[in-house]
Amino acid sequence: MNIDSKIYVAGHRGMVGSAIWRALASKGFRNLIGKTSQELDLRKKEDVAKFFKEERPNVVIDAAARVGGILANNDYPYQFLMENMQIQNNLIDYSLKTDVQKFIFLGSSCIYPKLALQPLKEEYLLTGALEPTNEWYAIAKIAGVKACEAIRKQYGKDYISLMPTNLYGPNDNFDLRTSHVLPAMIRKFHKAKLAGATSSEPVELWGSGSPLREFLYVDDLADAVVFALENQFSDNLYNVGTGNDLTIKELAIMIQRIVGHTGEIKWNSIKPDGTPRKLMDVSKMENAGWKAKIGLEEGIRKTYDWFLANQQSFKEVKI
């Protein structure tokens, strides 16, 4: 790639897409294309076809998806399956049809089986049953991975899939109805801290707190995407993470301390825990030459600072 390559970042206003946009701009790439969902509905085949015919990007980075936590996945399974497949199918198919030379597909660690051996290796894909609480999203993402693999095999194009672990950072979703665990904790602890008269109110969190999770600051993922853009990879699927995890209870205590909440944490064990553990084997990516740089505590502090600066603009997400 050179700095004049025309790069389309699908989903450029989301947490992941905006981080990728910042990373590309900071590296000097100056021919970036971004379209809002109002300007281009990626679910509509005809609109996507028209866009690719007119713009003819050299590179496509697919950071567009319908995302959410356990509650959102459970309540809207059809939307999580169908809309994600519509988005990625249109992007992948028209990239192929218009001779896009490099395509980077972004997925999620949820593509791997619920009870797969830890840490999760790329080769574990499709070797067991998925976690039921997010299988709809996972199935869509698996289809995207296999579509890129098929194009790579049949047409010899440089289409690769990066599977990040749990992401967080600036522009995250802090809506308690649809957010993931880390931003939800930040908002809950902050709200309880402000509500307490003399000390913080108690905070209720879902599950037992025992599941183990890995978290990656979104700017690290963006750095991995730029690395993948600038290098030729020998395979089609790569995990992106830190290679380290902690329990949800340990995460809660860390966020509580950073936010400054001093009240009690109550664990609602009636609510689902999800997958017992999700730790990524990141050796393939490290062998390729990339490694995460931002530690969890540093990343949470940066995210909380962004939350404080932007909390007045948060809106509830209507599904």
The H-or-E segment that residue 163 falls in is strand 158-164
pLDDT tens digits, one per residue of 84-100 = 999 999 999 999 999 99
pLDDT tens digits, one per residue of 148-162 = 999 999 999 999 999
Retrieve residue 221's tokens: 């993922």
In this prediction, residue 300 carries a pLDDT of: 98
pLDDT at 218 over 50: yes
Q: Is 306 annotated as a binding residue?
A: no
Q: Is 109 annotated as a binding residue?
A: yes
Q: Is 11 annotated as a binding residue?
A: yes
pLDDT tens digits, one per residue of 188-199 = 999 999 987 677
| Distances, alpha carbon 197 to alpha carbons 181, 262, 263, in Å | 26, 12, 11
What percentage of the chain exceeds 90 in pLDDT? 83
**Taking the domains of the chain in order of start, what are their residue ranges?**
7-311
In this prediction, residue 197 carries a pLDDT of: 67
* Backbone region of residue 126 per phi and psi (left: phi > 0; alpha: psi in -120 to 50; beta: other values): left
Q: Is 206 annotated as a binding residue?
A: yes
pLDDT tens digits, one per residue of 298-315 = 999 999 999 999 988 775
Retrieve residue 277's tokens: 């553990």
pLDDT tens digits, one per residue of 47-82 = 999 999 999 999 999 999 987 767 777 788 999 999
Higher pLDDT, 273 or 259: 259
Q: How confident is the model at residue 15 (pLDDT cuts 50, 70, 90)?
A: very high
Is the preceding omega at residue 119 within 30 degrees of 0, hence cis? Answer: yes
Q: Does residue 178 contact residue 187 with C-beta atoms inside 8 Å?
A: no
List the catalytic residue out of 8, 94, 112, 137.
137
> What are residue 228's phi and psi, to 5 degrees?
-65, -35
pLDDT tens digits, one per residue of 16-42 = 999 999 999 999 999 999 999 999 999
Mean of the per-residue pLDDT values of the chain = 93
pLDDT at 6 over 70: yes
Q: Is 165 annotated as a binding residue?
A: yes
Q: Is 188 annotated as a binding residue?
A: yes
Topology at the third CATH level for domain 7-311: Rossmann fold (3.40.50)
Q: How far apart are CA 71 and CA 176, in angstroms?
A: 10
Q: How large is the average pLDDT for residues 218-228?
A: 98
In this prediction, residue 318 carries a pLDDT of: 41
pLDDT at 103 over 60: yes
What percentage of the chain exceeds 70 in pLDDT? 97
Q: How confident is the model at residue 319 (pLDDT cuts 50, 70, 90)?
A: very low
Q: Is residue 137 annotated as part of the catalytic site, yes or no? A: yes
Q: Is 41 annotated as a binding residue?
A: no
Q: Is 166 annotated as a binding residue?
A: yes
Whether the full predicted model's pTM is greater than 0.85, yes or no, is: yes
